[in-house]
């Protein structure tokens, strides 16, 4: 099995990797792990995905609760007996199953042992070494693991291999520093400038798609949008294929540059002109992405939201109907569908998508309260005042300052008083 870099995989895989990085920055670690686990199970040798997956799994596992650890313990008791006998026949399938289990709790020793042995059988010694190193970090006194790790690293010719390892270690140290920079959101200008300088130097030695993309991201974080756009455009122009993930990065930098110009506008009229230019650009990019990738439901959702914002409700409904086939966007797509139907005055039809969204949402958060709020609005329009009031009161118990819920409840009570008198 060969190692793979991001330059050697499809645009779709790079898109998934970029989404994982964005999800982690948005504190959605479970989704990032899910995306990376899919990458690793489909392309076990994709090193950037493996490194990032282990980093996120480590963070998740360190904060794991007792229930997760107990579940992992019992999984570890029965897992080897079921899957170790399959290693010689289907090592890749065993590795896939190991990754799925480790995504829940990384520090599961029996499962790590099975993964290391399956990697050897699949002719992926680098994965076996990675796994044995992780076991060593967790159990440094485990002599059996140390012996297996040494055997993996030694190979047939110990002296030659040791020399190669020394060279590889130097390269790994440098590449690991670069890898640590990928997908990060740096807080201070000092950190950003240092990271940019380091990546610029690395780019001179190793012209890489991913380094140029990350430089564009860092320049955008630093507020140098012209430089960010330059790097993103260089990546977009790398070949004739359209990469929606990079197009998104380019759009993000363009919108940030518009925002900076709007803030610095000389008058409200100038700012309004720039706002319209910005929205028109955003809408044009979204339409172009959907035209090129008509089967990507995430892109349909994005376009539907933009149509909603521009009050093109029929077009929005068409896109959101497709967008809600994306399980990650289904609930909010239903909320926007309900709001589109409300805006068209079709209140009876708006009830169903809003109810669907609320029913599938779990804990009470801002998204669920938003869905409940608009369902209550719809009930008001349908003269179902009791149902509307109950929902408003439920929201009020959680957050008294949510939208205009408090004033709406007061209006109901005033209406009852007037009717009573």
Quote the pLDDT of residue 276.
92
Give the domain ranges of the chain: 6-179, 328-421
CB burial readout 162-194, b (16+ within 10 A) else e: eeeeeeeeeeeeebeebbebbbbebeeeeebee
Residue-level pLDDT at 420: 65
pLDDT at 283: 93
b/e per residue 367-384 (b: at least 16 CB within 10 A): ebbbbbbbbbbbbbeeee
Measured between alpha carbons, how far is 128 from 133 in angstroms, rounded to an integer?
9
Q: How far apart are the first and last CA of the chain?
A: 82
Spatial distance between the Cα atoms of 268 and 235, rounded to a whole number of angstroms: 35
Q: Domain 328-421 belongs to what architecture?
A: Alpha Horseshoe (1.25)
Q: How many C-beta neighbours within 10 Å does residue 410 have? A: 11
Token readout for 360 is: 């599938």
Closest CA to 41 of 5, 89, 94, 104: 94
CA distances to 17, 53, 122 from 46, rounded to whole Å, are: 10, 11, 15
Tokens of 414: 């005033």
At residue 147, the pLDDT reads: 81
Q: How far apart are CA 188 and CA 323, in angstroms?
A: 37
Q: What pLDDT shows up at residue 245?
A: 65
Q: Per DSSP, which regions of 210-290 are E strands?
A: none
The first and second tokens of residue 293, run together, are 């990738």
Nearest to 340 by CA among 307, 298, 379: 307
From residue 58, alpha-carbon distances to 51, 73, 137 in Å are 11, 17, 12
Q: The domain 6-179 is classified under which CATH number: 2.40.10, 3.30.1360, 1.25.40, 2.60.40?
A: 1.25.40
Total residue count of the chain as it appears in this document: 421
CB count within 10 Å of CB 78 equals 10
Q: Helices 347-360 & 366-381, crossing angle to 10 degrees?
A: 150
Fold agreement between 6-179 and 328-421? yes
pLDDT along the chain (421 residues), means of 10: 80 78 70 86 87 88 87 86 87 90 90 91 89 86 80 55 45 44 58 81 76 79 80 65 66 84 89 92 89 86 93 96 89 95 96 94 86 95 93 89 88 79 56
What is the C-alpha radius of gyration for the chain, rounded to an integer number of angstroms? 26
Among 273, 226, 214, CA closest to 48? 214
Partners of residue 46 on adjacent β-strands: 4
pLDDT attached to residue 180: 46
Task: Determine the Cα–Cα distance for residues 321 and 122; give it in Å rounded to an integer.
Answer: 43
Residue 251: per-residue pLDDT: 81
């Amino acid at each position: 099995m060969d190692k793979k870099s991001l330059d050697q995989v499809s645009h779709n895989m790079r898109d998934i990797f970029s989404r994982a990085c964005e999800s982690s920055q948005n504190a959605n670690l479970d989704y990032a792990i899910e995306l990376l686990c899919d990458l690793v199970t489909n392309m076990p040798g994709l090193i950037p995905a493996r490194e990032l997956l282990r980093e996120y799994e480590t963070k998740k596992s360190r904060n794991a609760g007792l229930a997760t650890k107990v579940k992992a313990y019992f999984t570890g008791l029965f897992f080897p007996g079921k899957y170790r006998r399959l290693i010689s026949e289907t090592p890749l399938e065993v590795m896939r199953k190991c990754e799925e289990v480790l995504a829940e709790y990384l520090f599961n020793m029996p499962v790590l042992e099975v993964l290391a042995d399956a990697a050897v059988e699949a002719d992926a010694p680098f994965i076996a070494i990675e796994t044995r190193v992780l076991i060593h970090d967790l159990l440094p006194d485990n002599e059996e693991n140390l012996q297996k790790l040494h055997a993996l690293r030694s190979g047939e010719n110990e002296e030659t291999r040791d020399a190669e390892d020394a060279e590889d270690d130097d390269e790994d140290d440098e590449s690991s520093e670069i890898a640590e920079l990928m997908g990060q959101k740096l807080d201070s200008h000092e950190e950003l400038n240092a990271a940019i300088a380091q990546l610029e130097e690395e780019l001179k030695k190793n012209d890489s798609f991913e380094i140029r993309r990350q430089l564009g991201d860092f320049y955008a974080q630093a507020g140098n949008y012209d430089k960010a756009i330059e790097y993103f455009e260089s990546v977009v122009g790398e070949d004739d294929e359209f990469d929606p993930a990079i197009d998104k990065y380019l759009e993000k930098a363009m919108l940030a540059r518009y925002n900076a110009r709007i803030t610095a506008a000389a008058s409200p009229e100038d700012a309004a002109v720039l706002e319209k230019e910005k929205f028109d650009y955003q809408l044009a990019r979204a339409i172009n992405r959907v035209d090129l990738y008509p089967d990507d439901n995430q892109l349909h959702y994005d376009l539907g939201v933009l149509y909603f914002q521009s009050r093109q409700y029929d077009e929005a409904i068409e896109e959101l109907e497709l967008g809600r086939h994306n399980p990650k966007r289904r609930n909010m797509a239903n909320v926007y569908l309900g709001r589109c139907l409300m805006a068209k005055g079709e209140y009876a039809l708006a009830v169903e998508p809003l109810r669907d969204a609320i029913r599938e949402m779990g804990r009470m958060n801002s998204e669920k309260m938003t869905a409940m709020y608009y369902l209550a609005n719809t009930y008001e329009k349908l003269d179902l005042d009791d149902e509307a009031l109950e929902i408003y009161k439920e929201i009020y118990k959680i957050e008294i300052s949510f939208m205009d819920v408090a004033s709406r409840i007061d209006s109901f009570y005033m209406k009852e008083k007037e009717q009573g008198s």
